[in-house]
Amino acid sequence: DAKTTQPPSMDCAEGRAANLPCNHSTISGNEYVYWYRQIHSQGPQYIIHGLKNNETNEMASLIITEDRKSSTLILPHATLRDTAVYYCIVSRPLSNFGNEKLTFGTGTRLTIIP
Amino acid sequence: GAVVSQHPSWVICKSGTSVKIECRSLDFQATTMFWYRQFPKQSLMLMATSNEGSKATYEQGVEKDKFLINHASLTLSTLTVTSAHPEDSSFYICSPHAGHHNEQFFGPGTRLTVL
């Protein structure tokens, strides 16, 4: 699986948009970009994933560059509950009956400032 | 998203005892179960993968005789830490997966402290 690079930490003011970057320059054509977050002492929570088109759901938006070598997770209106470690993970489709699995890097520790 | 439960949420035990952690997928059938552990201030590390009814596959450096995994049904898997020692103190997280899902869901985790 392709590796990812994320800044170790970021701060964002409450109510503002939080933009979390991720570099994945060695991504393969059939690999997806997945984003998860882990709030302290909890299991990881799925946020969003995408292949090449931008994606949006009730939690966040995912912007993937045209060359697919980087992406940005956008939390449009950050709240204090969004403080967590955010993981950007690249993987072949997980819908492969357990033959693929998520490998976690060190992620970005996002702190929302009141 | 899918509902996953783990029990217990935390456990403290004496060195040398065994601890069993249960993981249940409450609203889907998990053909595959992933078990991760996370040491303080570190990321999640995959320990093993099991398919229902088959023996688990362990990652390099994980002792299969120490971490016993049972995946006897599509909704329940257990991880038993045998003869636990303080260095086994960690946050253990299960991740049941239904083969057709393109997301991976995680349990809330079990914090094990071995005295």
pLDDT tens-digit profile of B36-87? Answer: 999 998 999 999 999 877 889 999 999 999 999 998 788 999 999 999 999 9
Average pLDDT for A41-46: 94
Higher pLDDT, B1 or B84: B84
Give the closest of B4, B43, B104 to A106, CB-based. Answer: B43
Across the interface, do B46 and A101 touch by the CB < 8 Å criterion? yes
Given CA atoms B6, B11, B16, B18 in this order, what sign does their dihedral have?
negative
Q: Which of B43, B103, B104 sits opposite A107 (nearest CB)?
A: B43
Pairwise CB contact (< 8 Å): A106 & B103: no
Contacts A–B by Cβ distance under 8 A? 67
Q: Provide the pLDDT confidence category of residue B99 given band limits of 50, 70 and 90.
A: confident
* Distance (Å) of CA A45 to CA A24, A28, A39: 21, 24, 8
How does pLDDT run across A9-23, given as a tens digit for each residue? 999 999 999 999 999
pLDDT band at A97 (very low <50, low <70, confident <90, very high): low
Cross-chain residue pair A94–B49, CB shorter than 8 Å: no
pLDDT of A35 over the 80 cut: yes
